[in-house]
Chains A and B, each alone.
Chain A
């Protein structure tokens, strides 16, 4: 089986590897580049866990061949933190409890990054529509949507957590 050279930029760094043409991009990222933050759930495009950015656009890493990413700029979940610190989106998601087991989280964060780049002030329906292709089995989605609202600087609805009874809510840092 012939091997093909793949050279691309991942999270701002030049990376390369030799792959069989049939190697899926997600497997290349996880196995060959050692970036295991990109998760694989369904491996057929449905769950969104593997979402990465390819040339700024969200894409399913399970529905691309590594060779299709030759010359591309890929950003994975490992590329979001800035100088070892959570970026503003990651912080907002953390503060809203936007994940529980965390399996879906990398895909959500990459899809949300693409959404906010396109539309920095999305409405709640726009957020829900943009995230319709990402599945989460834990959170029930409310806290994820709230995290995006917070990241976009919108007031976050507090209907499920009446604040009147609580004196000061210090963050559990």
Chain B
């Protein structure tokens, strides 16, 4: 047997789950889809004393529209969100990002909340959440609920702002408004692998001009990186090929990704520039402007 021994608890309500994570403390781990946690257990890189399986917690399972926002429960499976008409209509960026995660058999188990809480530096959903300026909702038994902006949620390599006694319960996303377009572009060694670099773009276009741009890179640092300078460049002048080229160059120049066996730092920087061009171009086209 590969994993070290642990206890297993399967709470049937959110209150019960929150009481368990509080009582068991840092040695316990929530179990969502297991697509990241179980490999860590099998390699014994993680040795929790107890797993708290969230699969039976009804409060974490739904996708709904609430007060102009798309709300996705933490335990919604990636595959389910990918096929949901509300997600496609309200948060097309998420709909672009989801099919890029792993393979169908990974997505049928992996969850939205698990991917966000795991905070893998090359994951798609954290970058999409930052680009969407999503709100992540955390809850503890004693302190209740708090709202964490996506930009503050991812704090480092596999680290988030969640406290040990907290669970991520849902993600809330403003519904995309008309005149907005988005795209998620990435380069991976093979289809389904974690991206070497990925770029999420969202633009709002009025009269052939980008009035608002959000550009976020994944795979180039420990956390998603927002390309603020490039965003400013894109909105400062009418949209042309030259403006796009400048924004791409600015992004590439601002990054210092690590080198590894899959690609050097310089290569990743280059790819980031290329992906910014592709993603912004696709997003503006979807918003109704051809550059």
Contacts and interface: CB of A to CB of B under 8 A. Distances in A.
Contacts of A4: 8
B105 A129 contact: no
A101 to B, nearest CB: 21
B5 A60 contact: no
B7 interface: yes
A64 B34 contact: yes
A65 B104 contact: no
A60 B41 CA distance: 15
Given A58-B105, A133-B106, A24 B42 contact: yes
B161 interface: no
B102 A65 contact: no
Interface string B1-42: 111111110100000000000000000000100110011011
Contact of B109 (A60, A111, A133): A60
B243 interface: no
Contacts of B43: 44
A29 B35 CA distance: 19
A27 B1 contact: yes
A133 B105 contact: yes
Contacts of A132: 103, 190-192
A79 B170 CA distance: 37
Interface stretch (A15-23, A87-95, A137-145, A162-170): A15-23
Interface string A110-136: 010011000000000000011011000
A60 B105 contact: yes
A11 interface: no
Contact of B5 (A20, A27, A67): A20
| Chain A interface helix/strand/loop/mixed | mixed
Given A22-B1, A68-B53, A130 B104 contact: yes
Given A59-B105, A60-B106, A129 B191 contact: yes
B123 interface: no
Given A132-B190, A133-B192, A22 B104 contact: no
A24 B2 contact: yes
A63 B190 CA distance: 21
A22 B5 contact: yes
Contact of B108 (A21, A58, A129): A58
A67 B192 CA distance: 27
A109 B42 CA distance: 26
A62 B191 CA distance: 21
Contact of B6 (A21, A114, A130, A133): A21
A51 interface: yes
A65 B192 contact: no
Nearest to B9: A21
B55 A114 contact: no
B79 interface: yes
B103 A48 contact: yes
A14 interface: no
Most chain A Cβ neighbours within 10 Å, of B34, B38, B39, B102: B38
A161 B38 CA distance: 44
Contacts of B102: 45, 133
A171 interface: no
A32 interface: no
Contacts of A43: 2, 42
A140 to B, nearest CB: 15
B200 interface: no
B179 to A, nearest CB: 31
8 contacts: A24-B42, A44-B43, A57-B105, A62-B38, A62-B42, A67-B8, A68-B53, A129-B191
Interface of A: 1-2, 4, 20-24, 27, 43-45, 48, 51, 54, 57-60, 62-65, 67-68, 111, 114-115, 129-130, 132-133
A-B interface, 6 closest residue pairs, ranked by CB to CB distance from nearest: A133-B103, A21-B8, A57-B108, A58-B105, A132-B191, A22-B3
